Amino acid sequence: MNLTETTISSEPVYDGVLLHVRRDEVRLPDGETSGREWIEHPGASAVIPLYANGDTVLLRQFRYPPRREFLEAPAGKFDRPGEAPEALAARELEEEAGIRAETFTPLGVTYPCIGYSNEVIHLFLAEGLSDGVAGADDDEFVAPVRMPLAEAVEMARAGNILDSKTCVALLLAQAHLDARGEE
């Protein structure tokens, strides 16, 4: 059974700095039509840095929409034309956490909001870490938190890390390390 919905028409509802809201009319698999409202997002990269001793760094950050602090993987959205996902991960790791990495291993992608957005987040494991120069955006306030990766993974499994991209990235990083025989 083909489940594809085909766009008949599309109109902008709101064009913001980051997000663009659209209203589409679609043809359903059964031939009927329906409306779809969705958010167009430029995409992002998120990275789990891993020190040789097994530590990682997450960022404590206040997020306005849910009005609370979260522990998150360093991450950011695409805002430079043609920027590659790995380059974005490297840039955000240094800007937000003050860390440079020699290698970035792709862990996969995740679509965090499939019911209302096309956002895709590219996930990476960063190794060969050294000090970089932190320089978060003027309106961005983050506090790096260094901890053992195993502790961060357990926090994700226990429901103490609530950011979905971070949970997915931590679990995929751990699975990658397990597959190569490391903890």
Rounded CA separation 9/25 (Å): 5
pLDDT of residue 80: 86
Of 172, 56, 71, give the one whose Cα is nearest residue 122.
172
Inter-CA distances, 165 with 29, 31, 32, 149, Å = 31, 35, 35, 16
Rounded CA separation 104/127 (Å): 7
Inter-CA distances, 13 with 16, 36, 38, 97, Å = 10, 12, 10, 36
Rounded to the nearest 5 degrees, what angle is found at the Cα of 136, between the Cα atoms of 130 and 138?
160
Delineate the domains of the chain, giving CATH numbers in brackets. 6-40 (no CATH), 44-179 (3.90.79.10)
Helix (H) or strand (E) segment spanning residue 89: helix 85-97
pLDDT confidence tier of residue 134, bands split at 50, 70 and 90: confident
Rounded CA separation 8/140 (Å): 39
Q: Give residue-wise pLDDT tens across range 65-117.
A: 999 999 999 999 999 889 999 999 999 999 999 999 999 999 999 999 999 99
Of 116, 121, 144, give the one whose Cα is nearest residue 49.
144
- The pTM (predicted TM-score) of the whole model is 0.93
